[in-house]
Structure 1
Amino acid sequence: MALRPHALLPRQYDHRRVLATTVDAWGRAHWLICPDAELKPQPYGSPYPRPRTYPYDALLVTDDRGTIHEQTLHDVSVWVRHVDALPNGRFLLVQGRGTRGERNAQIYGRDGRRRHAFQMGDAVEFMMADRQNHVWSAYFDEGVYADPISAAGLVRWDSGGRQEWRYSAPEGIEYIDTVYAFNVDDGVAWASYYPTFPLLEVRTNAQTCIRTSPVVAPRGMAVYGEEIVMLGGNRQDDRLHRCRMDGHEVLPVEEAQLTRPDGAALKQYARPVGRGRHLYLRGSAKRWFVTGI
């Protein structure tokens, strides 16, 4: 199976540094650009762009089905690693790493001005919003074991930054150490997490379901009804595992190899974004592809 092209940052922005990018709940691609950023070495992985000074004005570029929009977000004071759109033209920016007590999440209005800031915890692995004013944050181990907000592993907020729910593993189920794969649709989120990699389904009406899964350490997922496709896992990053949910189990149906649109091997990609039945991947900061159910 081949990926399909979804969105591409136009060439006029090629010389700019992209701090964060995503595909939102409406299918629009966003890139947050800092005009004055430098590449900073990381403890692991490639160097990552970081603003030289704070606060700074960031340029948000949006591809809405081929139509490009620009918006300036003023006085950003965090090193943004996650960006997402909220209803009513608002945006949420989140710094992935934070210190206790730090307001590392900032909400901006449609006029590009900051409306609110709040604490979202440390070591944010995923931050995703839906179209119904829900925001989900999922964490990795360095926050889970050190920060009181991140300790739950998965937290839900309203779109104003008020904490609504936090995960607590049922008796006999391992707690979240690190969320590996995540998917958010309107009113529901799915997560696969270390160490035992169950499929956790959480709904905003407080219903939860935990299913055993045959896929170990998936990198992304798409969900539609009782069908689920998991990408990666079992040490095969280009493998699609088609499964179905049956009670408290995820049952394998078939496997396929995922390739780039031209049929070339899918070798490297950043953390995918799962939006219901769609799974978005990027091989660079500027190009998004899509697959799904």
Structure 2
Amino acid sequence: MQKTTALAPYARLPRAYRDHHVLTSTVDAFGRAQWLLTDQAPKDGPYRAYRPYDAAVVTVDDGRFTTTELSALTAHHPRLDTLPDGGFVVADARSRAPERQVQVFDALGRESWTFRVGDAVEHLLTDESGALWTGYFDEGVFGGDELSWAGLRRWGTDGEALWTYDGVAGGEISDCYALNVHRTQAWACAYHHFALLEIRPGRKSGPEVVAWANPVRAAKALAVRGERVAFFGGYGDEHDRLVECELVDGEVRPLVTGRLTRPDGRRIGRRRVVARGPRIHVQEEPYTDWAVLDLGA
């Protein structure tokens, strides 16, 4: 009999906002759940871009919530995260040069900075220092925007390029399938080698990249705690696969393969995932609730 592991409830959008349109949602570096909401879906404008629109960020932290109004957003396919000073980052996953698709807002919701990070952003996660990590899918890596070609990058909140993956340690990235950002460190898995990349901060010459040989293919999220790793997702019927592993002698060694389920034991359907250190956060349609797998629990 296959092992099943149930997610635990984590955060819920307050009932007062349930009739709003959820543009996107995330869990930030400090464990706070965030929803980017509008009264209704923004209307299309020319050149596949939305006309600027207003939105609100609802933040849920340990059952309490706050709301911050943002004005003149431009993202058609928004990605959202927060900054240590209480500000926010909203970026469009798709863009064309010279569009500045990243908008930085202060804690009061006022726009303070705009810049570009390239096309085809699959993952956008800030770390505890405020730096912004971006992982790209194949249309960016093999497209015409050179900012996306590396597959994985780290940026300052003013748009300064802080680090670019060079492919030496774990092979070139064709599509960044999974990204985990915790404190100021990151882990990633990418097509087609799927090596577990550990990006360690702190070196004067830039972060150190360690690659762990990995037999687990196509995971969409990963959690790390010490020498333990869990991979979630896969192709086809393995979309809810959970593989628990250990790190030994430079490689990932699978221990147990099973399924990750909803808190009530049912199979997971269409979802978003956000990975932070030992936690994988999962959110299903209609994207009002977050659940969590915690390796530290």
Q: What is the TM-score when the length of structure 2 is the normalising length? A: 0.90
Q: In structure 2, which of residues 110, 129, 141 is the aligned counterpart of residue 132 of structure 1?
A: 129
Q: Work out the CA distance in 2 between the residues paired with 1:259 and 1:35.
A: 31
Query: Structure 1 segments of 4 or more deviating over 2 A?
Result: 77-80
Q: Work out the CA distance in 2 between the residues paired with 1:77 and 1:38.
A: 10
Matched residues, percent identical? Answer: 38
Q: In structure 2, which of residues 28, 52, 59 is the aligned counterpart of residue 24 of structure 1?
A: 28
Q: Work out the CA distance in 1 between the residues paired with 2:186 and 2:198.
A: 6
What does the per-residue CA deviation read over 1:75-99, in whole Å, with 9 as the maximum and x for residues that have no partner?
2223252100111111000000000
Q: Work out the CA distance in 1 between the residues paired with 2:283 and 2:56.
A: 20
Q: Work out the CA distance in 1 between the residues paired with 2:235 and 2:194.
A: 11
Q: Work out the CA distance in 2 between the residues paired with 1:64 and 1:120.
A: 29
Matched, 1:162 2:160: yes
Question: What does residue 230 of structure 1 align with?
Answer: 231
Matched, 1:56 2:53: yes
Q: Work out the CA distance in 1 between the residues paired with 2:266 and 2:153.
A: 38
The offset of 1:37, in angstroms, is 1.8
With 148-157 and 26-35 compared, the bigger mean Cα shift is at 26-35
Q: Work out the CA distance in 2 between the residues paired with 1:56 and 1:76.
A: 5
Gaps of 5+ in 2: none
Q: Is the 8 A contact 1:259 1:265 kept in 2?
A: yes
Q: Work out the CA distance in 2 between the residues paired with 1:112 and 1:39.
A: 22
Gaps of 5+ in 1: 41-49
RMSD: 1.8
The offset of 1:60, in angstroms, is 0.8
Q: Is the 8 A contact 2:272 2:284 kept in 1?
A: no
Aligned residues: 281
Matched, 1:153 2:151: yes
Matched, 1:2 2:6: yes
The offset of 1:38, in angstroms, is 5.0
What does the per-residue CA deviation read over 1:13-71, in whole Å, with 9 as the maximum and x for residues that have no partner?
2221111100111111111012242588xxxxxxxxx99x6222211111111111111
With 124-133 and 195-204 compared, the bigger mean Cα shift is at 195-204
Matched, 1:65 2:62: yes
Change (3 A) 1:101 1:38: closer
